[in-house]
Amino acid sequence: EADIYQTPRYLVIGTGKKITLECSQTMGHDKMYWYQQDPGMELHLIHYSYGVNSTEKGDLSSESTVSRIRTEHFPLTLESARPSHTSQYLCASSGPGTGELFFGEGSRLTVL
């Protein structure tokens, strides 16, 4: 079983609020990722990190930002949430070599 945790699982907030989605893994993986997934839709990579102090934008443009100060922690922040940010956000990590991604349970965000 994967040891990657996301909080909160569910969040309902008003427009303009700042939110941070937390993601932590205890596997010592260098690589971590954030995907966005709308209901019934495909996964889109929005951010990734290859290690501490390394962050890159993914294929899907996102107004969110990420940081990687510690290996195990990869939080995602929205400075001013809008209804268009309503989605499920999935965090993942991977170790060296195999390419296997371990996913968290997801954070389902609703912006009113």
Partner 1 sequence: QKEVEQDPGPLSVPEGAIVSLNCTYSNSAFQYFMWYRQYSRKGPELLMYTYSSGNKEDGRFTAQVDKSSKYISLFIRDSQPSDSATYLCGSGFGNAGNMLTFGGGTRLMVKP
Q: By CB under 8 A, name the binding residues for partner 1.
A: 2, 6, 31, 40-43, 45, 48, 50, 90, 92, 94, 98-106, 108
Shortest Å, Cβ 77 to partner 1:
20
**Maximal CA-CA distance, the chain:** 42
Q: How far apart are CA 109 and CA 37, in angstroms?
A: 11
For 93, counting Cβ atoms within 10 Å of its Cβ (0-12 exposed, 13-18 middle, 19+ buried), the class is buried
Closer by beta carbon to partner 1, 16 or else 101? 101
Least gap, CB of 18 to partner 1 (angstroms): 24
